[in-house]
Amino acid sequence: MHCDSRSRAQSKRWMDLGLTNRLLSARLFCALFVLLAATASASAQPKQPKVLMIGIDGCRFDAILYSQAKLLKKVINEGGHTDKCDVLDNIPTKADTASGAGWATILTGLWADRHNVLGNDFKDSRLHECPSVLHLANKVKPKLECIALVTWPDIQEHICKGHKGCRMVFDGDKKGYKEGDRVMTEVALDVLKTKNPDLLFLYFGHLDSVGHGYGFHPKSPRYTNGIEDIDDHLIRIFKALDARPKRAGEDWLVMFFTDHGGQGRGHGGGRTVPEIRTGFLIVHGEAAVKGKIADKVTNADIVPTALTHLGIAIDPAWRLEGRAVGLKKRDR
């Protein structure tokens, strides 16, 4: 009789233990299911599209290749590029191969027949009728954080006039563009660390000054050294980009371009000079094509490309004169 009691007690303990194990297994399965579902949901979430636009005044593509620039060569090899980006196209105007006309087109997506900036004199411009890429992005998506960090006063005073995100962080005309590039880089690092930009334009102005002083040419040591100085700044900027806390959920398209090339110590009057009127476009990121961009590319394509990556449909009423280039074909 005592044996029967012990047997029943032992059986009850085994039954209780089995029930406990089944409950634990069920709870573990539920927890695992929830974890897997959350992981799947997170991976299914589309990444947030963002654009970093890097403008290098007076930069020749062949000089980049001749230089010891590490970051610029890396993005060329990893992303898409063209060394045949026309800075003027065939628009019948008197626009010169000057910075004013170049940056006006780059930042509005319109040629000089529309914005009427023919050189570095903005006196009779029609830029009040030609919104910048910052204005267009915020017109469609007001909550986007659009920022431009510049050291050439005319970009803030004329091309991006009226946009609160356009900041002249240093006056390169008065204090020098080499220091301007350094200061602008420091501000850019802080923006990437402390803010959440969706569209960020950075202007590097020192290389143009170097070209005017020592020659726009791959065999000019001062000129290629100037490119390498910018490359050092870009290495720090890319590190800050990768260090962003939400970087894994961000889809950054990084674009590199210039307003004009150069020959000798100048770049004016270069409509018929390939070394002057030929720029470049480099696109880098998950959305960028790889290798050489086969299609014709002009500086008017830069704005449509940036807006398209941000998921902004191009309104025909804007009459932009370019189209998106260098992007992989996918649903947007």
Centroid of chain to Cα 17? 61
**pLDDT on residue 45:** 82
Q: What is the pTM of this model?
A: 0.87
**Considering the domain boundaries, does residue 26 fall inside one?**
yes
**Considering the domain boundaries, does residue 324 fall inside one?**
no
Q: Are residues 248 and 224 in the same domain?
A: yes
**pLDDT on residue 41:** 47
Q: How many Cβ atoms are within 10 Å of 246's Cβ, its own excluded? A: 9
Q: Are residues 146 and 250 in the same domain?
A: yes
**pLDDT on residue 8:** 59
Q: How many angstroms separate the Cα of 258 from the Cα of each of 15, 43, 99, 165, 300? A: 77, 37, 9, 21, 12
Please list the residues that pair with 327 across neighbouring strands: 288
Q: Are residues 212 and 177 in the same domain?
A: yes
**Can you give the residue range of the structural domain that contains 4?**
1-45
Q: Are residues 221 and 276 in the same domain?
A: yes
**pLDDT on residue 40:** 47
Q: Are residues 105 and 27 in the same domain?
A: no
**CATH code, domain carrying 230:** 3.40.720.10
**Considering the domain boundaries, does residue 323 fall inside one?**
no
Q: Are residues 61 and 189 in the same domain?
A: yes
**Considering the domain boundaries, does residue 286 fall inside one?**
yes
The SS3 of residue 119 is coil
Q: Are residues 92 and 198 in the same domain?
A: yes
Q: Are residues 27 and 141 in the same domain?
A: no
Cα–Cα dist 304/324, whole Å: 5
Regions of the chain short of the pLDDT cut 50: 1, 3, 14, 19, 23-24, 37, 40-42, 331-332
What is the number of domains present in the chain? 2
Q: Are residues 94 and 186 in the same domain?
A: yes
Q: Are residues 67 and 34 in the same domain?
A: no
Are the beta carbons of 317 and 106 closer than 8 angstroms? no
The angle subtended at Cα 149 by Cα 147 and Cα 155, nearest 5°, is 100
